[in-house]
Amino acid sequence: MFNKILTRARTMSPWVLHFDCGSCNGCDIEVLACLTPVYDVERFGMINVGNPMHADVFLVTGTVNHRNKKVLRNLYDQIPDPKVVVAIGACGLTGGIFREAYNVVGGVDKIIPVDVYVPGCPAKPEAIIDGVVLGLEKLKK
Amino acid sequence: MFEMTPTIMRNFIGKRATRRYPYVVRPAFENARGVIYNDIRSCTFCGVCAAKCPSQCITVDKKAATWSCNPSACVYCGVCAESCLSGSLQQKCDYRKPVQEKEVIFLRGEINNNHNIPMAMKNE
Amino acid sequence: MTTSQGIIMILAGLASGPLLGGLIAGLDRILTARFQSRIGPPLLQPFYDVIKLFGKEKMVVNVWQAFCANAYMTAASISVVLFFLRSDLLLILFIQAVGAVFLVVGAFSSTSPYSQAGAHRELLQILCYEPLLIFVVVGIYLLTGSFKIESVYAWNQPVLLKLPFMFVVLSFVLTIKLRKSPFDLSTSHHAHQELVKGLLTDYSGSFLALTEIAHWYETVLVLGLCSLFWTTNPVGAILLVGLTYFLEIWIDNVSARLNWRWMLGYGWAMGVSLSLVNLVWLYAR
Amino acid sequence: MSKTIIPFGPQHPVLPEPVHLKLTLEDEVITEAIPAFGFVHRGLEKLAEIRDFHQMIYVVERICGICSMIHAMCYCQGIEELMGIEVPPRARFLRVIWSELHRIHSHLLWLGLFADSFGFESLFMQCWKIREKILDIDEATTGNRIIISVCVIGGMRKDISPEHVNWILSELKDVEREIKRLETTIMTDYTVMKRTVGKGVLTGKQAYELGLVGPTLRASGIAQDMRMLGYAAFNEINFEPVVETDGDCYARCKVRFRETLQSIDLIRQAIAKLPEGELAVKAKGRPEGEVISRVEQPRGEVFYYIKANGKKNLERLRVRTPTFANVPALLAMLPGMWLSDVPVIVLSIDPCISCTER
Amino acid sequence: MIEHVVSISLENVVGETAKMKVEGYRFVTLSCVEIDETTVDILYHFDKDFQLKHLRLTAPKDSPVPSISPVYFAAFLVENEIQDLFGIRFQGLAIDYDRTLYLEEEVKKTPFCKYVVIKTKPPL
């Protein structure tokens, strides 16, 4: 019984932490656009907390490079369980158009385990909402 | 002070700006740049798309008659579809859905035989 | 008050925080969303948040912090229970202040600079609103001749009519206490703040949930204080509290965050002068 | 109180982008601020060696998602100059329209973030709500919301149809009305003024010597706007740079606010004069030589140095983006300020870190 | 095409830029291009009333270039960038990131030079 309530609460209240891991701002502002009136993800209880210790869903946009991979790892470790990682945009998935550049390590999944991949360049807000919803499936288990 | 009042009062009384997305889906604009779709039966495996792709996510093997694309590296610029000589490559207006596993689109066709085996192969 | 009545009141006080406070928080979020042309979260959203937080992995920075979160929660709930028991106003205020200080101590005990700076600002906030609250209580005392809430209820006409300026001062305190713009200095409901979550940065999981519930208790307490200004009939009290809260949300939405210098200067200047005017006016009549 | 060091970023909600500012504080007053970069560095200029010069358009577009089209336009203008291509007039006017649309959406985005930096959440929401209309125009005309990929060497890929023209004009009218409603809030609201007036003052001389560009420089009273060079079709439409003289955050806010309205006017002019004709000329041959191309981005002057040697790939592509030039302003403005003013000052130069580091 | 180019040498870099400052030019940026195994080309761009003027310095890779950041403070950022990407050392930088502006310590190669330069601290 309690578990059922807890699961429901978890899916109803995904607090997101957004980390721009070297994206071009495209996906970034689309993530922010999700919070604004036209998409308003607060309908689903999503709020941007900006503090890893409070977050449940980790939205990562952009390529990983040698400097920010440590930050990424660090942030990931600070998020308490249960957590969901959503990689956003072509850059977050594989490195996108930049994956052959010298300072690019590749997609987010090279550093931390990723649960949901949201393709697009930039990913549309609709796709980002879909992605978070898909990620919440993991919490139901 | 409080200069914002008329605006927020208008918001309070007026219609919400929110699109109730998952419940109400707005149709995509007709020339929105979404997923790349290859009609493998008419593909001639000329390789122009692979050469033009700025993200280098398309590989074409003429001998084996295969066409593959890594949609997670695709930047949806639409250059491949524009430059396709046979018109087999098209860009649809729907965006690609999020997935839990990365996939690679791998299509095999035979140039003279109208016969294709589209299949999605998992990456690594 | 009989013993059975007392027990009912204690239970009501204990329940009011998590239930009433949560509902108020939910309503607050919906109203804010409406002001911003959004739909906003469901009414029960704060409850989901808190339940979820209890289910999160425990990450304790240090033992102090766990203790402080609990102490804050206990103090806040005791002050509300005392309020429901119609006890001494001064006692209620001091217990509430002790709780608030525990929250700050917990934040100071961590090493995060955001948390430290947030705690620093919270102390300044406490410094700003506590004297004003005392003024309000003193005003009530001068009017009714007692610090007991009982005596306010015994008063035959709404206190608001005698202490209108005091009510303005109290709503000023309310803005600080509810962490609303322009005074969301130490921590803020939304993330876009220079101190991230400020004071609450290092509280996480169930401890954050505890501070959240404690905050609800405090909301109930401060709104309860507001309701004391209209005790003659419950409809009047609810209307007054509702209106004040609506006003708070409105101010939250039409103003930017200011810094603590402004808060201290403006708060004390305005609070003290308004209180004095009111007290002098009381005497003069 | 002894000195505290606050690490501002790389993950910080006020700055959506990863830049690290090491702030040394005494009480709440900043004594030193040193920025650290490298969190977004991808090495994009080097990609010119493996992508050919046509493909590079789409790469430079992704230097920055906010002013992407203007990057592509600047790059294309450089290559066109090298190859001696004359761009058809319709394409030049279309470039003006889309680049000004980008300016509006970037400025509105900035206004929102700026409002958020001083804790004015509803103003943030309002600005972003208006901005969605511009994004809809982008999506309807080009197919993508932000990175619109319309420029090619020799012209444009997409066209604006006559039905779209009318729709754009009516949408712009809405946008203009909504923005004008915010005017009193941004220009006269007590709390906004309290947080912005007199914060981060740069005199004209200081700003010029630091090599600042764009609205940051114009707010200090120097009328320097690359659109005065008359690239694309800016020489055929009326254009006056917006200048303010105070040089503080408030002045920078005013400049950007007025530019937003000005851009709407520029689009109207460009639409009124939009000539018929072909969209693009075919780019034949390979570029050779050195060229410098400059255009005005929402954040200021962007500077491209292109060196080509007649091969498919460029020999060197160097991009100096506006924020790169504006970063020294931060070092000059931050010391002596309050911690609570840091977000306001940092955002007042409209930092775009992915531009800066490429 | 580039006009108004003045060639300068290592000795008079600072002198020439100081002259530009006196004439009222605004510092735009530096561009660095690798020419061959031993030399790079550094272009100093200045702007005045929308007219660009350039100083071209052909510098050897191994000897440090005098920094112009004491003259134009804004130059420190781009000089640090060149230090990172090309391995050229600048002497007298206002703020020296010691080649960690963009790249991490563990990156040992200078990405823009085809001929790898392992960097050392400049002689003091």
Q: What is the ipTM of this complex?
A: 0.84
Beta-carbon neighbour count of residue C19 at 10 Å? 14
The pLDDT of residue B121: 41
3 state SS of C243: helix
What is the C-alpha separation between D323 and D37, in angstroms, rounded?
Answer: 12
Question: Residue A96 is encoded by which pair of tokens?
Answer: 């996108």
Domain ranges of chain B: 28-122
**Structural domains in chain E (count):** 1
Judge D/B contact: 3 or more CB pairs < 8 A: yes
Under 8 Å between Cβ of C120 and C48: no
- Taking contacts as CB-CB distances below 8 angstroms, the residues of chain A near C49 are 9, 13, 15, 45
Q: Which residue of A48, A54, A59, A140 to mutate against C (max C Cβ within 10 Å)?
A: A54
Predicted local confidence at residue C238, as pLDDT: 87
Q: Give the CATH number of the domain where residue D306 resides.
A: 1.10.645.10
Asked whether the beta carbons of residue D354 and residue A19 sit closer than 8 angstroms, the reply is no
Query: Which of the residues C30, C51, C52, C210 would you substitute to probe the A interface, choosing the one with the greatest number of A C-beta atoms within 10 Å?
Result: C52
Q: Does A67 touch chain D (CB under 8 A)?
A: yes
| B28-122 CATH choice from 1.10.10.10, 3.40.50.2000, 3.30.230.10, 3.30.70.3270 | 3.30.70.3270
DSSP alpha helix (H) spans, chain C: 3-16, 22-35, 45-54, 63-84, 89-108, 113-144, 149-154, 164-177, 205-227, 234-254, 260-284
Q: Residue ranges of chain B with pLDDT lower than 50?
A: 113-124
- D76-93: per-residue pLDDT in tens? 888 888 888 888 888 888
Token pair, residue B106, equals 């791998």
Q: Is residue E35 situated within a structural domain?
A: yes
Token pair listed for D347:
């955002």
Most A CBs within 10 Å: which of C32, C35, C44, C56, as the mutation test of the A interface? Answer: C56
- Ramachandran angles phi, psi of E3, nearest 5°: -120, 175
In a domain, D60, yes or no: yes
pLDDT of residue C196: 66
Burial per residue of C102-138, b for 16 or more beta-carbon CB atoms within 10 angstroms, e otherwise: bbbbbbbbbebbbbbbbbbbbbbbbebbbbbbbbbbb
Q: Which has more confidence, D260 or A21?
A: D260
Nearest CA in chain A to D49: A101
Residue D84 belongs to a domain: yes
Hey, is the C-beta of A50 within 8 angstroms of any chain D C-beta? yes
The alpha carbon torsion through A15, A21, A27, A31 (nearest 10 deg) reads: 20
Does D122 reach chain A within 8 Å, measured CB to CB? no
User: Is C40 in contact with A13 (Cβ distance < 8 A)?
Assistant: no
**Hey, which chains touch A, using 3+ CB pairs under 8 Å?**
B, C, D, E
CB distance from A103 to chain E under 8 Å?
yes
Residue B66, phi-psi category: left (phi > 0), alpha (psi -120 to 50), beta (remainder): beta
Looking at the domain assignment, is residue E51 inside a domain? yes
Query: Going edge to edge, which strands form the sheet with B119-122?
Result: B58-61, B66-69, B103-108, B119-122
State whether A134 and B21 contact (CB < 8 Å).
Answer: no
What domain range is D88 assigned to? 3-197+267-357
| Residue of chain A nearest C206, judged by CA positions | A54
Q: Say if the Cβ atoms of A5 and C51 lie within 8 Å.
A: yes
- Region at C236 (left for phi over 0; alpha for psi -120 to 50; beta for the rest): alpha
* E106 in contact with A, Cβ within 8 Å: yes
The domain segmentation of chain A, as residue ranges, is: 2-140
Instruction: Return the residue of E nearest to A69 by Cα.
Output: E104
Angle between helical axes of D68-83 and D89-117 (0-180°, round to 10): 150
Residue D274 lies in a domain: yes
* Chains in contact with B via at least 3 Cβ–Cβ pairs below 8 Å: A, C, D
> Does residue D34 sit at the E interface (CB-CB below 8 Å)?
yes
**Residue numbers in B near D62 (CB within 8 A):** 75
Alpha carbon separation from E119 to A66, A103, C267, D127, E109 (Å, rounded): 18, 18, 58, 48, 8
- Which pLDDT tens digit goes with each residue over D202-232? 888 888 888 888 888 888 888 888 888 878 7
Q: What is the pLDDT of residue B122?
A: 38
Chains D and E contact (Cβ–Cβ under 8 Å for 3 or more pairs): yes
Half-sphere exposure of residue C228, counting CA atoms within 13 Å on the CB side? 30
Q: Which amino acid is at D275?
A: P
- In D80-171, DSSP assigns E strands to 151-152, 155-156
Residues of B within an 8 Å Cβ radius of D: 1-4, 6-8, 11, 17, 29, 31-33, 52-56, 75-79, 82, 93
How many residue contacts between A and C have a Cβ separation below 8 Å?
85
Token pair in block for residue D6: 């606050």
Q: Is residue E55 part of a domain?
A: yes
pLDDT values of chain C reduced to their tens digit, one per residue, 285 residues? 678 888 888 888 788 778 888 888 888 888 888 888 888 888 888 888 888 888 887 777 778 888 888 888 888 888 888 888 888 888 888 888 888 888 888 888 877 777 877 888 888 888 888 888 888 888 888 888 888 887 777 777 777 777 788 888 888 888 888 877 777 776 666 655 666 677 777 777 788 888 888 888 888 888 888 888 887 888 888 888 888 888 888 888 888 777 778 888 888 888 888 888 888 887 776
Distance from CA of C226 to the nearest CA of B (A): 23
Residue D275 in tokens: 């000539």
3-state secondary structure of A130: helix
B4 min Cα distance to partner chain D (Å):
5
> Closest Cα of chain E to A66: distance in Å?
6
For residue C35, which residues of chain B lie inside 8 Å, CB to CB? Answer: 8, 11-12
Taking CA atoms, what residue in C is nearest to A3?
C55
Q: Is residue E87 part of a domain?
A: yes
Inform me whether the pLDDT recorded for E52 exceeds 50.
yes
* A–E interface: beta-carbon pairs under 8 A: 12
In a domain, E108, yes or no: no
Residue B71 has which token pair? 């949609």
Q: Cβ–Cβ of A97/B19 closer than 8 Å?
A: no
Domain A2-140 class in CATH: alpha beta
What residue of B is the nearest CA neighbor of C252? B2
Boundaries of domain holding E29: 5-91
Question: B78 and D58: CB-CB below 8 Å?
Answer: no
Residues of A in contact with C38 (CB under 8 A): 37, 40, 42-43
Tokens coding D152: 């090619």
Beta strand residue intervals within chain A, DSSP E: 15-20, 47-48, 57-61, 64-65, 84-88, 104-106, 116-118
Tell me the CA distances in angstroms from D277 to B10, D69, D255, one per residue in order: 44, 22, 35
Across residues E33-40, what is the average pLDDT? 80
Give the burial string for D117-133 (b: 16+ CB within 10 Å, else e): bbbbbbbbbbbbbbbbb
Q: What is the pLDDT of residues A27-60, one digit of tens each?
A: 888 888 888 888 888 888 888 887 888 888 888 8
Contact residues, chain B, for C254 at CB < 8 Å: 1-5, 8
Q: What angle do CA D81, D87, D88 make, to 5 degrees?
A: 170
Give the other-Cβ count within 10 Å of B27's Cβ. 8
Task: Flag whether D159 is in a domain.
Answer: yes
Which secondary-structure segment (H or E) carries E93? none
Chain B hits for C37, Cβ within 8 Å: 11, 14, 16-18
Residues of chain D with pLDDT under 70: 1-2, 9-16
Inter-chain contact C191–A49, Cβ cutoff 8 Å? yes
Would you say residue E44 has pLDDT above 60? yes
Taking the C-alpha atoms of residue C13 and residue C16, their distance in angstroms, rounded to an integer, is 5
Q: What is the 8-class DSSP label of residue B35? A: -
Neighbour tally for E107: CB within 10 Å: 17
| CATH code (residue E69) | 3.30.460.80
Classify residue D243: in a domain, yes or no.
no
